[in-house]
Structure 1
Amino acid sequence: MEPQDDQRLLPSDRGKAFSSPTVLDVSHPIRLVRLFARAALPVALIVWLLSLRDVNVLGMGVFGLVEVLPVAFWAAAALLTFGFCAALLDRRTRDRLYMGYVLALIAMLHATAPIVYGHLSDNWAWKHVSMIDVLLRVGELPIVHDRGLDLYNQWPGFFTLNAAVIEATGIDSALSYAAWGPAVADALLLGPLIIIYRSFSRSRRLSWAAAWVFYTCLWVTQDYFAPQTLTFLLYVTVLAVVVRLLPRARGTPGAARGKAARYPPIGWTLLVLSVVAAITCSHPLTPVMLIITLAALVVPRRNRRTVLPILLGTVVLNLAWDLTVARPFFSANAREMVQGLTQPESNASAGLLDLASATDAHVLVAWTDRALSAGVWLLAALALLFRPSLRRTPLPLLAGAPLVLLALNSYDGEMLFRAYMFSLPAMAFGATALLVAPRPRNWARKLVLPLVLPALFAGFTICYFCNPDGATALYFTRSEVAASRWLFDHAPRGAVVTAVTEDVPAGYTDYDRHPSVWIELQEEPVKKRFAADPAGTLGSLVAGRKGPVYLMLNRAQEGRIRATGLISTSLKKIDNVLAGHPDFRVVFQNKDAKVYLFTPMKSRAD
């Protein structure tokens, strides 16, 4: 016999929520709906894969993949979304079908880019691959102060883990799987997410619908191959275990009358703290967020026996790490962190784009991600108002605790986005609880999810697939990769690697052997001098450096400069100046990249 879904949307709505299936009138042909729900998933996956065969990535403009993905891709997305809505109509839908739909959604959102591009495209992910390669070669992450790379040395957990995976599997490099980081991380996140949601409600349908909303609102591009991706996954995993162990308030799922709160089992505590240790040694911000969230969960007295041991263990682990391995970072940034405590408004607005001077593409993306964020926050707040039972769950604490981050620091303009990301698991459930109305009495209420879910999918693609800062910086062509590999294969130890922007594939390869100079990281006066006199400015920047100097120019840099106005000239003009300069000689060239060897006249005379 097929499982029956629990009819309670929320504990206080007993007898109301889902007493009839979500957006379902009993007069509807349920068998036809059930057949559509089961058939739509495989058909959507097949259409999606076929749609990616001939995508012209070179035709991307400022809207990135959104403007080059074929109609078949969007048809597959629509079929998947409406198939999922049909599955929500059927009370007998099994968990495995829900899981299939959500995993297919993750694939469409996060596997499309690596399939279309054919290789790793994110510049920061390339950098992390290079870190791992160096770790495997020399056995440690060298401290290189003039690169800003000493941070990796003080939080090496992510790199150490990947190095262990590479050694255990015998593969050549993390480059072989790094492009799939977002898809794999988000798929692994699904388990802990559902565990948390099932602690809020017994309704399977509400939990899976909330998971769908979560993934389509996770527009913050912090899920690439990076330490924060791993630690966010572990953060949600810790919360899933803790929330599952919490005693239930009266009227909530799993509540037992007269059952006193207990200390968590020793085995569970040690297991959770081992995950906390992995977070602590991998990322500076996530442990702070974990402490804040656990501290919030301690506020209700019934939770203290469960949460306090884990909170105290987390604090001890972080203090031990920060006062030893990570002490150089905190010593160097103590003044800035103290100043951040007095500027919460500045911290919150630091990452917001000034729309007055933005391009049309910037405005579209900015308003879309703001609408998604504000919509989820607003709906979650209204859910707490109109669904009283939610206030007796940990949801308000999990959603509100990350906002404390805004009072701490701007985190280089990213704190608002990180706070949104950490609060999203709870907010997505609250928003969904409001959208999924119990006993919809009219067609307008029954059509809420079929209208909202496609809109969320479209909004996500605008935020995630577009890059108004230059579509050519969204990915690297094979020619660019080939040029970069030639450069690092031929540059002798000690050679200086330079470029106008950091948009160089594998730009940090052998970073312990090759000092680098990136024009975009220089002060504004230096950038202006470089635009007027690239040869002379580069010569002054590398003066005193030993070894040859290589300068790489490629299409991704050109796109970044054209879109952002990083320097007041074009890469083509720079190339023309250098091509006629006696100190520069082309040593490698293909259709998308050029490598110059810079040899000052004085050096040649010596």
Structure 2
Amino acid sequence: MADLGVLEDVPGAAPERPGRPGADPGLRPGRLRAERIPLLATAALAVAVPAVAALDLAVPGRALLALAFVLTVPGVPLVAGLRLPDPLLACSLAGALSIATALLTATAALLTGTWDPVRWAWALALVHLAATAWVLRRGPRTAGPGARAPGRPAARELRIRAVCAAALVAAVGLWWLAAGRVDLDAAGASGLIGVVGWPYLAALVLVAGVAAAQLVRRAPDGVVLAAAALVLALVLFAFANVADGAAGVPTGWRHVGFQRFISANEASFYGLDARASWPAFFAAAAQLVHLAGVADASAFLQLAPFFYNAAALVPLLVVARCVTGSGRIAWLSVFVYLGANWYQQDYFAPQATAFLLYLTVLATLLWSAAAAWRSRAADRPGGPRPERRRLRSLLAPLGRRPPLPAGLDAGRSVALEGVLLLLATAVVVTHQLTPVTLVLTLLVFVVTGYTRFRRLWLVVALLFVGWFSYGASDFWTGHLSAVVGDVGQVGANLDQAVTSRVVGDPTYQFMQQVRLGWSLVHVLLAVTGLGLILRRPDARLIALLAASAGSLVLLQSYGGEVVLRVFVFAAPLLAPLAAIALHRLLTWAPRGLPARRRQWLALAALAVVLTGYGAAGTATRGVNVSFERVSADDVRAARVLWANLREGDTVGLLYPAGAYPGDRYGEWSTVWLREERCELPPEACALTQLPRFVLLGRTQDAALTLVEGSAPGASRELADALLRSGRYEVVYRGADAQLLVLDGPR
């Protein structure tokens, strides 16, 4: 039996072998029939979803069908027509192209005043059907040169799969038990890790054990590893939301409010929020809500973090395979990525959607670069050699044009560039910061000579400047100094992002420092991994890609979140580099140790490391759960508020927590009752400003206690004082929230 040190690629994930560009392999009839299934299934879906929406039928699972429509129409047949030799990359591009199309068509409908989600869905369905007919007529080909149809697993493999499946099902059961038993109200300064309970930790151990057992096998099973990665994503990213019965992160509820505004007014919310200048995500969410037949986008909030992380696994695996050169280490990097993702930028938000598109572009460019390098290296006697470090060799990549990847001809390469341009255009109209990172990434590939798409960075940069200048003029007009004021202010940007956030309760400060320490460990592992591959010819490319994400601190503080965004964009590269270092550490063993003992040692060490990554991810991600969560009681209080609001009303709050921004956006305004904002104590502020409603709750208390260092129970004391004053009465009171209304005229 082999140990982890054998760099043997996972079946089905092996790097493409050089071959004649454009060559189509001979595929067996059974394989061809199998490739027709997704084309025909998505064609049926493309017709069914707009038809059901047009008739407004109460079909079971309608919301899931609508989501599947957005993820597959029209990307599946369009990408199938490219005949990409890598099935994983094709799958990633199909989903990203469908999402990008939804973003762009929703934006076009909003800007042109042609808002009609059903008609636009029918238009996409027609494109999908036409592309499907064309691909079926040509005969679908997705396998690479030399690919063979997979055989049926042996009986022993099926038994191993059954055991692993049972362990993963048990892990999900333990996770569900933990979610039902956890008391999130007791999560204080230490965050989520202090209250998850033993069933949650047991679930992590089971998932880590299954993944480790597969990774030390001679031929790891990609199906089992994919299932383990999905279960780990569920355990890490859906726990708090499922336990609360509602979606956390109040900003996600604000995005629901934006969606409802667009649905009601068929226009963006200009003048109410700066994000109105990038309306693509909110408009697409409004169209999705209409197709799904649900009341609003809150139906998609609860499992959004799990969805975004699960969707990222496919392009992430492509990226990791290119960086590590090994399917085994690539799978290890997937689990490392999940355990290190504490940044919580994966809720129902534009940046999460734009990041998926960015990650797909990165995966495509790295796949093309890796395939091109292998093709060039195969023609060299003795294999690849490191490039000379002279000035001429440093400038040489600027004029280098890589060869076509094996299995891709010139025409399909141009079409692939068109797909990347469409993804980039969708990113430009979706999010403010992601296009900057995308331009830098594209430029790095040009400077290092690892892309044929040499002008793509310039086109995307012009699109970004054009949209920012005209489409986002409401955002920067009169505030240009604030937009460019942070450029070059590295120290101030870092201070806003790091130092100013480590405040409040001493235990809470310690947990924030744990976050910083865990991030530092992850970065040091990645730097070590980079050092291990420095002799590779593409090491400069990988290093510059990681550094380009870090350069964002030169440009913006981004409201104090720039370091978070740096980690988000660097994470797809940090994870495989860290996995390379971990692989080297985990495969070390004393000399003379028998092979079987080496394997068991590697298995135990890997299981411990993966469990540690899961526990560290839980601890660092859940630090703010006390005030970032939105309980079912918060939602009930917010719904009572929305039902009683009148246009022009004011709502008093101590802290932006809860579900309150999820409806009636723009019809009411906020009165902040904290002394720093009002310049009066909360009670005096409320009785002076007299907001019509005062919404208070446990999450506001937690934020004031942990972040501001206030005494516990501030919101409860304020509510009691306002009730004693006789000016307010209770409209709603629950375990976690209460709503007061002004009694009488202001």
TM interval, short-chain normalised: 0.7 to 0.9
Q: Give, as a single letter, the amino acid of the residue that structure 1 aligns with 2:459.
A: G
1:458 corresponding residue in structure 2: 615
1:335 corresponding residue in structure 2: 481
Taking a change above 3 Å as real, the CA distance of residues 134 and 78 of structure 1, as seen in their structure-2 partners, is: same
1:65-84 aligned within 5 A? 65-84=192-211
1:506 corresponding residue in structure 2: 660
Q: In structure 1, which of residues 59, 62, 87 is the aligned counterpart of residue 214 of structure 2?
A: 87
Taking a change above 3 Å as real, the CA distance of residues 553 and 513 of structure 1, as seen in their structure-2 partners, is: same
Q: CA deviation at 1:164?
A: 1.4
Q: In structure 2, which of residues 690, 696, 705 is the aligned counterpart of residue 553 of structure 1?
A: 696
Q: CA deviation at 1:424?
A: 1.2
1:229-378 aligned within 5 A? 229-246=352-369, 255-257=377-379, 260-261=402-403, 265-301=413-449, 303-304=450-451, 306-353=452-499, 358-378=504-524
Task: Please tell me whether residue 404 in structure 1 is matched to residue 561 in structure 2.
Answer: no
570-579 vs 39-48, which deviates more?
A: 39-48
Q: CA deviation at 1:498?
A: 2.4
Are the counterparts in 2 of residues 8 and 201 from structure 1 also a CA contact under 8 Å?
no
**Over residues 534-593 of structure 1, what are the superposed CA-to-partner deviations in whole Å (9 max), with x where a residue is unaligned?**
334424xx6xxxxxx222222222222233337788223322321132433434444443
Are the counterparts in 2 of residues 247 and 261 from structure 1 also a CA contact under 8 Å?
no
Taking a change above 3 Å as real, the CA distance of residues 96 and 439 of structure 1, as seen in their structure-2 partners, is: same
Are the counterparts in 1 of residues 324 and 576 from structure 2 also a CA contact under 8 Å?
no
Are the counterparts in 1 of residues 652 and 686 from structure 2 also a CA contact under 8 Å?
no
**3-state DSSP class of the match of 1:553?**
strand
Taking a change above 3 Å as real, the CA distance of residues 118 and 344 of structure 1, as seen in their structure-2 partners, is: same
Are the counterparts in 1 of residues 252 and 348 from structure 2 also a CA contact under 8 Å?
yes
TM-score (norm 2): 0.69
State the alpha-carbon separation in 1 of the partners of residues 683 and 670 from structure 2: 21
State the alpha-carbon separation in 1 of the partners of residues 709 and 266 from structure 2: 37
Q: CA deviation at 1:78?
A: 0.7
State the alpha-carbon separation in 2 of the partners of residues 88 and 389 from structure 1: 26
Are the counterparts in 1 of residues 205 and 607 from structure 2 also a CA contact under 8 Å?
no
Q: Give, as a single letter, the amino acid of the residue that structure 1 aligns with 2:181.
A: D
Q: Give, as a single letter, the amino acid of the residue that structure 2 aligns with 1:533.
A: A
Q: CA deviation at 1:288?
A: 0.7
154-163 vs 394-403, which deviates more?
A: 394-403
Taking a change above 3 Å as real, the CA distance of residues 368 and 254 of structure 1, as seen in their structure-2 partners, is: farther
Q: Give, as a single letter, the amino acid of the residue that structure 1 aligns with 2:721.
A: V
State the alpha-carbon separation in 2 of the partners of residues 270 and 179 from structure 1: 34
Unmatched runs of 5 consecutive residues or more in structure 1: 12-29, 543-548
Q: CA deviation at 1:91?
A: 1.5
State the alpha-carbon separation in 2 of the partners of residues 589 and 445 from structure 1: 55
**3-state DSSP class of the match of 1:324?**
helix
Q: In structure 1, which of residues 96, 101, 106 is the aligned counterpart of residue 223 of structure 2?
A: 96
Task: Please tell me whether residue 174 in structure 1 is matched to residue 297 in structure 2.
Answer: yes
Q: Give, as a single letter, the amino acid of the residue that structure 1 aligns with 2:300.
A: Y
1:21 corresponding residue in structure 2: none
State the alpha-carbon separation in 2 of the partners of residues 412 and 598 from structure 1: 34
2:730 corresponding residue in structure 1: 586
Taking a change above 3 Å as real, the CA distance of residues 36 and 486 of structure 1, as seen in their structure-2 partners, is: closer
Q: Give, as a single letter, the amino acid of the residue that structure 2 aligns with 1:397.
A: L
**3-state DSSP class of the match of 1:533?**
helix
**3-state DSSP class of the match of 2:663?**
coil
Are the counterparts in 1 of residues 9 and 328 from structure 2 also a CA contact under 8 Å?
no
564-573 vs 111-120, which deviates more?
A: 564-573
1:433 corresponding residue in structure 2: 580
Q: CA deviation at 1:99?
A: 0.7
**Over residues 494-521 of structure 1, what are the superposed CA-to-partner deviations in whole Å (9 max), with x where a residue is unaligned?**
222222222232335211222222335x
**Over residues 365-419 of structure 1, what are the superposed CA-to-partner deviations in whole Å (9 max), with x where a residue is unaligned?**
2232222211222122222222235552542222111011011111111111211
State the alpha-carbon separation in 2 of the partners of residues 356 and 330 from structure 1: 30
1:483 corresponding residue in structure 2: 637
Taking a change above 3 Å as real, the CA distance of residues 79 and 73 of structure 1, as seen in their structure-2 partners, is: same
Q: Give, as a single letter, the amino acid of the residue that structure 2 aligns with 1:191.
A: V
State the alpha-carbon separation in 2 of the partners of residues 76 and 582 from structure 1: 52
Q: In structure 1, which of residues 421, 427, 435 is the aligned counterpart of residue 568 of structure 2?
A: 421
Q: CA deviation at 1:480?
A: 3.0
1:573 corresponding residue in structure 2: 717
1:191 corresponding residue in structure 2: 314
State the alpha-carbon separation in 1 of the partners of residues 327 and 503 from structure 2: 46
292-301 vs 207-216, which deviates more?
A: 292-301
Q: Give, as a single letter, the amino acid of the residue that structure 1 aligns with 2:403.
A: A
State the alpha-carbon separation in 1 of the partners of residues 164 and 473 from structure 2: 55
Q: Give, as a single letter, the amino acid of the residue that structure 2 aligns with 1:380.
A: A
2:174 corresponding residue in structure 1: 47
Taking a change above 3 Å as real, the CA distance of residues 31 and 367 of structure 1, as seen in their structure-2 partners, is: farther
**3-state DSSP class of the match of 1:595?**
strand
Q: CA deviation at 1:230?
A: 0.7
Task: Please tell me whether residue 214 in structure 1 is matched to residue 314 in structure 2.
Answer: no
Taking a change above 3 Å as real, the CA distance of residues 124 and 196 of structure 1, as seen in their structure-2 partners, is: same
2:8 corresponding residue in structure 1: 7
Taking a change above 3 Å as real, the CA distance of residues 36 and 391 of structure 1, as seen in their structure-2 partners, is: farther
2:17 corresponding residue in structure 1: none
TM-score (norm 1): 0.84
CA RMSD, 1 decimal: 3.1
1:546 corresponding residue in structure 2: none
2:48 corresponding residue in structure 1: none
State the alpha-carbon separation in 1 of the partners of residues 253 and 477 from structure 2: 29
Taking a change above 3 Å as real, the CA distance of residues 253 and 475 of structure 1, as seen in their structure-2 partners, is: farther
**Over residues 512-531 of structure 1, what are the superposed CA-to-partner deviations in whole Å (9 max), with x where a residue is unaligned?**
222222335xx82x444133
**3-state DSSP class of the match of 1:498?**
strand
**3-state DSSP class of the match of 1:497?**
strand
Q: Give, as a single letter, the amino acid of the residue that structure 2 aligns with 1:404.
A: S
Task: Please tell me whether residue 131 in structure 1 is matched to residue 282 in structure 2.
Answer: no
Are the counterparts in 2 of residues 220 and 417 from structure 1 also a CA contact under 8 Å?
yes
Are the counterparts in 2 of residues 33 and 89 from structure 1 also a CA contact under 8 Å?
no
Taking a change above 3 Å as real, the CA distance of residues 81 and 254 of structure 1, as seen in their structure-2 partners, is: farther
Are the counterparts in 1 of residues 652 and 672 from structure 2 also a CA contact under 8 Å?
yes
Q: CA deviation at 1:339?
A: 2.8
Taking a change above 3 Å as real, the CA distance of residues 450 and 390 of structure 1, as seen in their structure-2 partners, is: farther
2:115 corresponding residue in structure 1: none
State the alpha-carbon separation in 2 of the partners of residues 48 and 356 from structure 1: 31
Are the counterparts in 2 of residues 222 and 228 from structure 1 also a CA contact under 8 Å?
yes
State the alpha-carbon separation in 1 of the partners of residues 609 and 687 from structure 2: 56
Taking a change above 3 Å as real, the CA distance of residues 257 and 456 of structure 1, as seen in their structure-2 partners, is: same
Task: Please tell me whether residue 538 in structure 1 is matched to residue 682 in structure 2.
Answer: no
Taking a change above 3 Å as real, the CA distance of residues 599 and 255 of structure 1, as seen in their structure-2 partners, is: farther
1:11-26 aligned within 5 A? none
Are the counterparts in 2 of residues 192 and 240 from structure 1 also a CA contact under 8 Å?
yes
Instruction: Report the count of equivalent residues.
Output: 560
2:742 corresponding residue in structure 1: 598
**3-state DSSP class of the match of 2:580?**
helix
Are the counterparts in 2 of residues 36 and 86 from structure 1 also a CA contact under 8 Å?
no
Unmatched runs of 5 consecutive residues or more in structure 2: 15-156, 381-400, 405-409, 591-597
**Over residues 24-75 of structure 1, what are the superposed CA-to-partner deviations in whole Å (9 max), with x where a residue is unaligned?**
xxxxxx9999886565333323332333333333333333432322212111
Are the counterparts in 1 of residues 504 and 707 from structure 2 also a CA contact under 8 Å?
no
**Over residues 252-306 of structure 1, what are the superposed CA-to-partner deviations in whole Å (9 max), with x where a residue is unaligned?**
58844389535772211121111111111111001111111111121113x25x2
Taking a change above 3 Å as real, the CA distance of residues 453 and 154 of structure 1, as seen in their structure-2 partners, is: same
Q: Give, as a single letter, the amino acid of the residue that structure 2 aligns with 1:577.
A: A
Q: Give, as a single letter, the amino acid of the residue that structure 1 aligns with 2:416.
A: W
